[in-house]
């Protein structure tokens, strides 16, 4: 029995010996094979070993900086930080110095206000079952200053990850030109709008790295190999935008936006000699740091619309260039038949028989209809539309440029195109075409990118310069057009009188563009237009060209659409000319001063008789209302800018009485209605010829005021006839 037990033990031991011997042989064979081939599962062991010891550190590159033409920074990469919260208690080794969030509620109460978060929302994040959390957009891209404020709280478990973010130091400043860039899912900064998008391939950076042999803790091993790949910084971009002129424009548009609350505003300032865009802005705008965007298109280049009467500039230029324009020739204004259609002047009845020069000053649609139909001819006019490039994009170096549409299929469309209806164009198309007027016939391509420069070598990798894209008219024609356009601003009949600038000669043309209705036809109402002005200065040798458009502003009852447009144009143009050291024209300085709007004094509380006398001495026309002795209200108000020669309504503290409105313009009649609180109703256009409330009668707030108006050349005659009729009726009445 015992012998059998020993025999089984020996057999078991032998089997184990054989098994272990076999396994050892396999292991030894594998060792020999690895030693002999240096590979395992097809991979080189030396490479794997090197990878395990190879350490890599990223060297961050910088996206290119965007500058204005004077070298001021408009967009740049700046250090930023992401706030993180460590929730894992295992990260704390010393309870006296915790490295994780110990008190979520206290942490949320102190940190949430700095990040602009709701306290309860942050507390929910801080109580998640996770090792580490972030706070979404609230905790990303925070500045160094905010990081220091958070660090000063000494909150356990709150840490930071260093990164870079795109920063726009001027906020809402040429935003649609500069655009914006943001990080994508791969943490790469990519341009999304404007120059940031257009030049993304130049601005984009590529990180470098350094690799070396290191130990398990990441420390460099002595004698290890090192490889460095330098970062490729993005190229720097220099724009034609002048920061100073852009600031003038932004400030003026902010002021008008606050006062008039328009639906849209567009403005462009250009150097007509080169095509450089010195300033460009639109409203609504946005802050690229916040990306609070409501309109992703730059309306200055992407919004085609019927331009209205600014288009008359190019119809006039075509007629002069073809030798068919005689400014002293007369025509009958008011209406003009084109087949079954009737074209009317903006006041419906016209101004009688006037010269073509006066027709330009008054912005007569009939005058320009005659020029297209009878003088130029429709085919020849179409050639000029092509010569001025209204049939194509300008090619400006910004994304998403649109192009208008020349509507020339029907006879009426061919005529209305001559005064800016039917056919649509973009603001930048008008600017490009107008450079031919301002630059003695040479039409310049507009551009905003001056150059792109490699920041490391200083080499210019992209360079833009002035480009002549056509010569639609001669230099002589351009000078003649500017001379006539100057009278639009200076003439007593000119629609451009609000655009006069103290000391400088201005040439330009106003525009009042109709807005198509979604239900067909056009919108109605005194505010439902795009009011615009295309002007240049100084007239004899324009240094600046400017287009301003304001869509659907909220106007006071006494104001016209020129009020917000002229506020932008005159402010920016004058400031820019002075900034560029363009000397005022001495010959015109005093004349311009008398025509320039002046700030009106406040006469409230002053004796009415004395106030009226002083207003007369200053060159205004006082209208005293009421039987009191002291001024209680005035319109325009103190501080408002008013042209000399305008009526100033003074309401006294006595009983309110109705003045004689005959001869008043509609605007002046509305001043009276507004200050008396009356409900106005008008019939006709032009100047007041009759009123339902007799002069001198007492009025109460809420009374109806009905006035009848007639064209300037008729109102005196009609007023005299009405006086005669009244006298005859009085004579016919029975005497007591």
The answer to whether the CB of 572 falls within 8 A of the CB of 546 is: yes
- The rounded distance, in Å, linking the Cα atoms of 182 and 671 is 52
- The rounded distance, in Å, linking the Cα atoms of 650 and 605 is 11
- The rounded distance, in Å, linking the Cα atoms of 481 and 486 is 9
Within the chain, how many helices (H) and strands (E) appear? 22, 33
DSSP, residue by residue, 183-205 = E-TTS-EEE-SHHHHHTHHHH--
Residue with structure tokens 């409900």? 679
If DSSP codes are grouped into helix, strand and coil, which group holds residue 252?
Answer: helix
Q: Which residues of 620-629 are buried (b: 16+ CB within 10 A; e: fewer)?
A: bebbbbbeee
The answer to whether the CB of 562 falls within 8 A of the CB of 530 is: no
309 is catalytic: yes
Residue with structure tokens 């490295």? 99
- Strand 39-40 to 264-270 pairing: unpaired
Q: Name the β-bridge partners of 142.
A: 81
DSSP, residue by residue, 596-641 = S-EEPPP-TTSBHHHHHHHHHHHT-EEEEESS-SBEEEEESPTT-E
SS (H, E, C) 262-277: CCEEEEEEECCCCCEE
Residue with structure tokens 């925070």? 142
Longest dimension (CA), the chain: 170
The answer to whether the CB of 508 falls within 8 A of the CB of 434 is: no
The answer to whether the CB of 449 falls within 8 A of the CB of 195 is: yes
- The rounded distance, in Å, linking the Cα atoms of 438 and 272 is 6
- The rounded distance, in Å, linking the Cα atoms of 164 and 209 is 17
The closest of 658, 659, 719, 647 to 688, measured between CA atoms, is 719
| Annotated active-site residue in 80, 175, 285, 309 | 309
> Where are the strands (E) in 18-95, listed by range?
39-40, 43-44, 54-59, 66-67, 73-86
- The rounded distance, in Å, linking the Cα atoms of 111 and 125 is 12
What's the token pair of residue 642? Answer: 């008013």
- The rounded distance, in Å, linking the Cα atoms of 613 and 639 is 19
The closest of 665, 696, 692, 689 to 680, measured between CA atoms, is 692
Q: Which residues are catalytic?
A: 309
């Amino acid at each position: 029995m015992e012998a059998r037990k020993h025999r089984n033990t020996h057999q078991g031991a032998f089997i184990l010996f054989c098994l272990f011997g076999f396994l050892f042989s396999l292991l030894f064979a594998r060792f020999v094979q690895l030693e002999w081939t240096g590979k395992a599962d097809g991979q080189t062991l030396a490479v794997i070993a090197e990878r395990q010891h190879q350490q890599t550190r990223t060297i961050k590159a910088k996206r290119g900086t965007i500058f204005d033409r004077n070298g001021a920074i408009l967009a740049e990469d700046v250090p930023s930080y992401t706030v993180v919260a460590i929730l894992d208690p295992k990260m704390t080794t010393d309870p006296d110095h915790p490295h994780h969030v110990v008190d979520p509620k206290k942490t949320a109460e102190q940190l949430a206000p700095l990040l602009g978060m709701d306290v309860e929302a942050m507390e929910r994040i801080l109580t998640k079952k996770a090792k580490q959390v972030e706070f979404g957009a609230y905790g990303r891209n925070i500045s160094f200053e905010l990081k220091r404020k958070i660090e000063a709280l000494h909150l356990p478990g709150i840490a930071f990850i260093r990164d870079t973010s795109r920063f726009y130091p001027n906020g809402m400043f040429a935003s649609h030109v500069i655009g914006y860039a943001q990080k994508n899912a791969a943490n790469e900064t990519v341009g999304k709008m404007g120059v940031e998008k257009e030049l993304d391939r130049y601005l984009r950076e590529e990180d470098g790295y350094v690799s070396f042999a290191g130990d398990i803790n990441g420390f460099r091993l002595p004698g290890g190999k090192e490889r460095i790949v330098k970062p490729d910084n993005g190229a720097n971009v220099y724009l034609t935008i002048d920061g100073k002129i852009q600031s003038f424009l932004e400030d003026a548009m902010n002021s008008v936006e606050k006062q008039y609350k328009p639906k849209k505003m567009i403005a462009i300032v250009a150097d007509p000699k080169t095509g450089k865009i010195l300033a460009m802005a639109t409203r609504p705008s946005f802050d690229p740091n916040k990306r609070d965007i409501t309109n992703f298109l730059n309306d200055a280049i992407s919004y085609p619309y019927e331009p209205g009467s600014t288009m008359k500039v190019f119809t006039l230029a075509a007629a002069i260039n073809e030798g068919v324009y005689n400014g002293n020739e007369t025509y009958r204004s008011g209406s003009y038949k084109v087949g079954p259609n009737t074209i009317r002047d903006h006041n419906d009845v016209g101004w009688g028989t006037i010269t073509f020069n006066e027709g330009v000053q008054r912005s007569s649609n009939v005058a320009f209809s005659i020029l297209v139909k009878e003088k130029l001819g429709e085919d020849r006019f179409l050639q000029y539309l092509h010569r001025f490039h209204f049939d194509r994009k300008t090619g400006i170096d910004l994304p998403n440029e649109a192009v208008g549409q020349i509507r020339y299929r029907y006879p009426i469309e061919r005529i209305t195109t001559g005064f800016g209806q039917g056919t649509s164009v973009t603001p930048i198309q008008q600017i490009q075409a107008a450079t031919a007027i301002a630059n003695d016939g040479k039409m310049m391509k507009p551009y905003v990118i001056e150059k792109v420069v490699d920041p490391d070598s200083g080499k210019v990798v992209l360079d833009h310069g002035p480009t002549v894209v056509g010569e639609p008219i001669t230099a002589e024609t351009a000078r003649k057009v500017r001379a006539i356009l100057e009278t639009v601003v200076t003439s007593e009949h000119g629609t451009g009188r609000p655009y006069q600038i103290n000391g400088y000669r201005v040439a330009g043309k106003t525009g009042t563009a109709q807005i198509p209705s979604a239900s067909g036809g056009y919108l109605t109402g005194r505010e439902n237009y795009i009011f615009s002005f295309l002007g240049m200065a100084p007239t004899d040798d324009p240094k600046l060209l400017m287009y301003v458009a304001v869509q659907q502003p909220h106007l006071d009852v006494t104001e016209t659409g020129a009020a917000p447009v002229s506020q932008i144009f005159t402010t920016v143009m004058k400031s820019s000319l002075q900034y560029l050291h363009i000397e005022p024209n001495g010959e015109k300085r005093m004349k311009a001063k008398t025509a320039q709007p002046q700030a009106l004094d406040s006469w409230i509380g002053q004796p009415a008789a004395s106030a009226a006398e002083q207003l007369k001495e200053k060159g205004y026309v006082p209208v005293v209302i009421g039987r009191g002795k002291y001024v209680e209200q005035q319109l325009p108000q103190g501080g408002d800018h008013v042209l000399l020669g305008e009526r100033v309504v003074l309401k006294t503290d006595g009983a309110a009485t109705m003045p004689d409105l005959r001869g008043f313009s509609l605007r002046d009649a509305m001043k009276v209605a507004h200050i008396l609180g009356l409900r106005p109703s008008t019939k006709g256009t032009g100047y007041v010829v009759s009123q339902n409330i007799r002069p001198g009668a007492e009025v109460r707030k809420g009374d109806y005021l009905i006035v009848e108006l007639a064209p300037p050349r008729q109102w005196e005659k009609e007023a005299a006839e009405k006086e005669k009729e009244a006298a005859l009726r009085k004579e016919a009445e029975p005497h007591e």
